[in-house]
Amino acid sequence: MEKKINTLWNWWKDMEEINTEENEILLTVYKTINEEVVARQSRLEKQIEHMGRILIELLKNKQLTIIKKKQ
């Protein structure tokens, strides 16, 4: 998704023929998409941290056991 946004941003910067009003609309769209990507990334990071804390607690309380796979 981030690569798509960067591509959109590069495309927008290169578009000199578009009038100012259309540029403002494109900039608003870019900013909105970027804000959503940042928000989703932040939520995912928090979920991963939370899951990690749960796993650590389960391991500490011996409610979860890690079994090593034989090779």
Are residues 23 and 12 in contact, defined by beta-carbon separation less than 8 angstroms?
yes
Q: How many residues does the chain have?
A: 71
Tens digits of per-residue pLDDT, 5-36?
Answer: 667 667 766 665 566 777 788 888 889 999 99
Please list, in sequence order, all residues whose beta carbon lies within 8 angstroms of the beta carbon of residue 12, skipping any fewer than 6 positions away: 23, 26, 27, 30
Tens digits of per-residue pLDDT, 31-63?
Answer: 999 999 999 999 999 999 999 999 999 999 988
Residue numbers of the domain that contains 23 = 19-49
Q: What are the structure tokens assigned to 56, written together?
A: 């650590």
Overall number of domains in the chain: 1
Q: What are the structure tokens assigned to 1, written together?
A: 């998704």
Q: Which residue has the tokens 């900013």?
A: 31
Regarding pTM above 0.85, the answer is: no
